[in-house]
Amino acid sequence: MIIDHTTSAVVTGGASGLGEATARALAGKGAKVAVFDMNEERGEAIAAEIGGVFCKVDVSDEASVEAGFTRARAAHGQERVLVNCAGIAPVGKLVKRDRETGAISHHSVDLFRKTMAINLVGSFICMAKSAAGMMTLDPVGEYGERGAIVNTASVAAEDGQIGQVAYASSKAAVKGMTLPVARDLMGEGIRVNAILPGIFRTPMLAGLPEKAQAGLAEAVPFPKRLGDPAEYASLVCFMVETGYFNGECVRLDGAIRMPPK
Ligand code: NAD
């Protein structure tokens, strides 16, 4: 699929970090981009800058997602591209292991549920609603392509740390659902892939002190730096534009394999 001015795209989490870079990259290729996010102020500002629309959406809430797609499609027509970037990474501010409350690995049950609701169920809801719309599109090209979806998992899906039980579980599940959804939608001409980012310089890392961020960069074999969100966005565009990319989960991580802390 070629991304150009005829392409309508939806980017969840498009108000920040990897989603913002993706929204900018898609718009840079001419696409009409709808930014789905909870952060109204940033989302409106970015959408205005790239000539797109902002939709205040909580990806974990089916009705909110439905309303977002209705608004995005009214503005830009049915999307051919969905990029799921909305997510939370609740690490480090969590309750300690506690025999009384039953919390383990720094996680309360509520935090576990919330992380799953946003990272996993949110990605699923957006895929389901988007695929339903994509199926109404006329197929394009010799092989009858209708759309492309890119999910955002994480290297934590494969090498999660002790404080990342909820996050790693949610991202492993995002990775895990990508191939079966790709298999489900292949008959409809919709491709589904996922990226497992390593450590990228985004507001998600802002909670960490600079020294800790430098330590993270040191852990990357090569190049010894954090990922640039523009590199993530390039891979999204490549996956969308490369018709043979389907059902893949690709690490983008400078070869990092985190040893257990
Ligand atoms: P970020 O915090 O900069 O951006 C995340 C965006 O998601 C924010 O704009 C936030 O408002 C939005 N969001 C959160 N909950 C939402 C909800 N319920 N509904 C709609 N929007 C919501 O983070 P980022 O670093 O850009 O991360 C983007 C994705 O990449 C996340 O899924 C994250 O888990 C994943 N990831 C990031 C890294 C990294 O190093 N930054 C590494 C691996 C995976």
Q: Is 167 a catalytic residue?
A: yes
- Please tell me the distance between residue 183's alpha carbon and the centre of ligand 1 in angstroms: 26
Nearest-atom index, ligand 1, CA of 227 = 40
Which residue minimizes the CA distance to atom 15 of ligand 1? 87
Is the CB of residue 10 less than 8 Å from the CB of residue 36?
yes
pTM listed for this prediction: 0.96
Q: How much is the pLDDT for 199?
A: 95
CA angle (182, 187, 191) in 5-degree steps: 35
Ligand 1 pocket residue status of 203, Cβ below 6 Å: yes
Which residue minimizes the CA distance to atom 17 of ligand 1? 58
Ligand 1 pocket residue status of 167, Cβ below 6 Å: no
Which residue minimizes the CA distance to atom 21 of ligand 1? 37
Q: What is the chain's Cα-based Rg?
A: 18
Q: What's the CA gap between 128 and 190, in Å, rounded?
A: 12
Q: What's the CA gap between 110 and 80, in Å, rounded?
A: 35
Ligand 1 pocket residue status of 89, Cβ below 6 Å: yes
Containing 123, the helix (H) or strand (E) segment is: helix 122-134
- Please tell me the distance between residue 85's alpha carbon and the centre of ligand 1 in angstroms: 6
Q: How much is the pLDDT for 163?
A: 80
For the chain, 261 residues long, give each residue's pLDDT as a single digit of tens: 999 999 999 999 999 999 999 999 999 999 999 999 999 999 999 999 999 999 999 999 999 999 999 999 999 999 999 999 999 998 654 455 556 655 667 778 888 999 999 999 999 999 999 999 999 999 999 999 999 999 999 999 999 887 888 999 999 999 999 999 999 999 999 999 999 999 999 999 887 777 777 788 999 999 999 999 999 999 999 999 999 999 999 999 999 987 666
- Please tell me the distance between residue 119's alpha carbon and the centre of ligand 1 in angstroms: 9
Which residue minimizes the CA distance to atom 31 of ligand 1? 87
Which residue minimizes the CA distance to atom 13 of ligand 1? 86
What tokens does 84 get?
A: 């799921």
Which residues make Cβ contacts (< 8 Å) with residue 152, sequence separation at least 6? 13, 18, 83, 84, 85, 87, 123, 174, 194, 195, 197
Query: Which domains does the chain show, CATH number per domain?
Result: 8-252 (3.40.50.720)
ipTM: 0.99
Which among 143, 167, 232, 244 is annotated as catalytic? 167
Ligand 1 pocket residue status of 208, Cβ below 6 Å: no
Mutate to test the pocket of ligand 1, among 204, 236, 249 (most ligand atoms within 8 A of CB): 204
